[in-house]
Chain A
């Protein structure tokens, strides 16, 4: 049973890392991507091939996987980031599917549809949690530096961002590369947790799932993204019998959120304990009889 809980925690961690990347790209730069599963695939295959076929140590694979994903993102971004909103999204969609098909057809290297097996089980809970915390901290600091601020300027008002001297094309590339590196890291951890990868694991629904998670958490809230990932990874585990309806529930959740609270669970705010303290003070320090009564119910 504890092995099962451990497995769920590792899965949450892997999803959190991938979603953090999408959060930087979509939540903070307002670039929508439906191809981040493609970057996960690149990270997964690159690292798995390194450890299985070349006997590279796991840490090396964990570094090289994300780097290759980021390099591919740089090349793709140079071609497509000048496109406006919807057109960029369509190119990422095409990219994600191309990557999947490429890995499907490159059978001698990737094992094709039969997948790549025999990957050493190196992703422990300790490693997954540690890397997730580092990834979160890195993203958090990044967003609170000039880099993150420039991305938010692009999100808010691209013309004004250019007018204050921000090279918007370059910073969009940064955002895209970081999101790809995060996806690559998630892919590398995934490969070394499942010990088996196949192209179908990185299909369009996976990309959609990542973006949907960010939308539900709040476009512009890093902690909201984490919160949504935990909810969307753990809930299907609890309701195992309804697992087939997962994408249906995701779709419904998005519709409900867009209608009721378009800014997502957290909006632009970050999770902090302050509202809880103020609520606590309001309930217990004012000694208001009606409130204590309400609380007791």
Chain B
């Protein structure tokens, strides 16, 4: 059974058709890429999947359940985690706290247990802290766990955002331009990093990216978007050879 099915999705802002009849089916365990020129509607698709926007038309199913008209937090609790194009960390809090916050669903204690530290509070908190430290070890941020998140170098902030997303125990991870602002070497390292968490956490990943090498070496399948519609879909090799793609995207910006 596919993990995510989007059928005939439309999102209009006034007269602008940001998403125009977009459909995709994600099989469990694969890595998908979503590419296209600026303004093609990629981030709008992410925002619609995660409930920030309500679609004008169309259906989105996660594991057979519709996510339409659900609040963002409900969709997150259904198993979709995401990162943001412009990083959105809890900037004034520590690295460890950023990840611990995302584990709030693992904390089963009530408000009076929290205020008095009685009951399940201590054991529960210790378990969460342990889980988060392990998570930080996997992403390689364990040493800076007490640093303020907003003061981390850019690349580490991206990793922390991914770690925070993983802490919610997702089955589907959406990454919005994870390699933005990274050089060749850093983005190569990021490919290995994402492959690593993909295996470790039994994830399906959908990512938006402009770095062609990055997408081609990481993704099992790629959807190419232009003006809110899919113009091509297939494996990296198929997409590379598709004339419509070359004309709309790769051809014009080959040197970029």
Please determine whether B90 and A152 come into contact, CB atoms closer than 8 angstroms: yes
Which bucket holds chain B's interface residue count? 35 or more
**Bound form: Cα–Cα A15–B99 in Å:** 35
Please determine whether B73 and A145 come into contact, CB atoms closer than 8 angstroms: no
Please determine whether A146 and B109 come into contact, CB atoms closer than 8 angstroms: yes
- Chain B stretch 169-189: residues in CB contact (< 8 A) with chain A: none
Q: Given A142-B115, A145-B114, A147-B114, are A165 and B168 neighbors across the interface (CB < 8 Å)? A: yes
Question: Total A-B residue pairs with C-beta atoms closer than 8 Å?
Answer: 94
- Chain B stretch 70-95: residues in CB contact (< 8 A) with chain A: 71-73, 76-77, 81-82, 84, 88-93
**Bound form: Cα–Cα A220–B97 in Å:** 15
**Bound form: Cα–Cα A81–B242 in Å:** 51
Residue of B73, B76, B77 contacting most chain A CB atoms (<10 Å):
B73
Interface digits, A246-279 against B, CB 8 Å rule (1 contact, 0 not)? 0000000000000000000000100000000000
CB-CB < 8 A to A157: which residues of B?
A: 88-91
Dominant secondary structure at the A interface: helix
**Bound form: Cα–Cα A146–B168 in Å:** 14
How far apart are B161's CB and chain A's nearest CB, in angstroms? 8
CB-CB < 8 A to A268: which residues of B?
A: 92
Checking A142, A160, A165 against B105 with a beta-carbon cut-off of 8 angstroms, the contacting residue is A165
Please determine whether A163 and B72 come into contact, CB atoms closer than 8 angstroms: yes
Closest residue of A by beta carbon distance from B164: A164
- Chain A stretch 151-174: residues in CB contact (< 8 A) with chain B: 152-153, 156-157, 159-168, 174
CB-CB < 8 A to A152: which residues of B?
A: 90, 93, 97, 101
The 4 A-B pairs with the shortest beta carbon distances in the complex, nearest first, are: A145-B114, A165-B76, A156-B90, A146-B107
A-side residues, CB < 8 A to B, are 137-138, 141-142, 145-150, 152-153, 156-157, 159-168, 174, 220, 268
Q: Give 9 CB contacts A-B under 8 Å.
A: A137-B115, A145-B121, A149-B97, A149-B100, A156-B89, A157-B90, A163-B81, A165-B102, A268-B92
